[in-house]
Amino acid sequence: MPSALINVPKKAKRGDIIEIKTLMSHIMETGYRHTASGDVVPRDIITSFTCRFNGTEVFRADLFPAIAANPFITFFTTVTESGKFEFEWIGDKGFSETAQASITVE
C-alpha cells in the first residue's frame, strides 16, 4: 500500500519561490542488517526521486541506504506559469510510484 503525501501551494505569484514537500511511504531497508539466523536482509530502498514541472525536470535526487524510512524530501523552485508537478520515485524490487499536484500562477 505505498502512499505519498505532497504539499505544493495551490496558488503562487509569477516568479515566486515556492517550497515543495514530499513524503513517500517506504521501509528503506539498508541491506546491511541480518536476521536472527544470520541471513542478510536484502536491500530494498528508493534509489531515485524526480520532480518534473510541465514535463521539464526541476529537481532530482539519488537516495542511498543511510536515508531513513519514509523519505521526506523538500526543495524550493520558482514558478512562472500555471501547470502540473509530477513526482516519481524509483527503487529496488521494481518499486515505482508517481504522484502529481497542480499550481495556479497569477
Partner 1 sequence: MKIALCIAFVTTMASVAFATEIPQSERRSGYSFMSADTKAMQDEDTANPGMLFVLDGETLWKRKAGSADKACADCHNDARVSMKGIAAHYPAFEKALGRPVDLEGRINLCRTNHQQASPFAYESRELLALSAYVAQQSRGVPIAAGDDPELAPFVEKGRELFMQRQGQLNLGCTNCHDDNWDKKLAGSAITQGQPTGYPLYRLEWQSLGSLQRRLRACITGIRAQAYDYGSPELVELELYLKSRARGMPIETPAVRP
Residues of this chain that interact with partner 1 (CB under 8 A) are: 1, 3, 5-7, 21, 23, 25, 27-28, 68-70, 72
Paired sense of beta strands 83-91 and 46-53, if any? antiparallel
State the nearest-atom distance from the C-beta of 21 to partner 1, in Å: 5
Q: How far apart are CA 10 and CA 102, in angstroms?
A: 7
Paired sense of beta strands 11-12 and 56-62, if any? unpaired
Taking alpha carbons only, the member of 53, 52, 93, 97 closest to residue 71 is 97
State the nearest-atom distance from the C-beta of 86 to partner 1, in Å: 17
Q: In this complex, which beta carbon is closest to partner 1, that of residue 6 or of residue 58?
A: 6
State the nearest-atom distance from the C-beta of 74 to partner 1, in Å: 8
Q: In this complex, which beta carbon is closest to partner 1, that of residue 1 or of residue 17?
A: 1
Q: How far apart are CA 99 and CA 43, in angstroms?
A: 24
Q: In this complex, which beta carbon is closest to partner 1, that of residue 69 or of residue 81?
A: 69
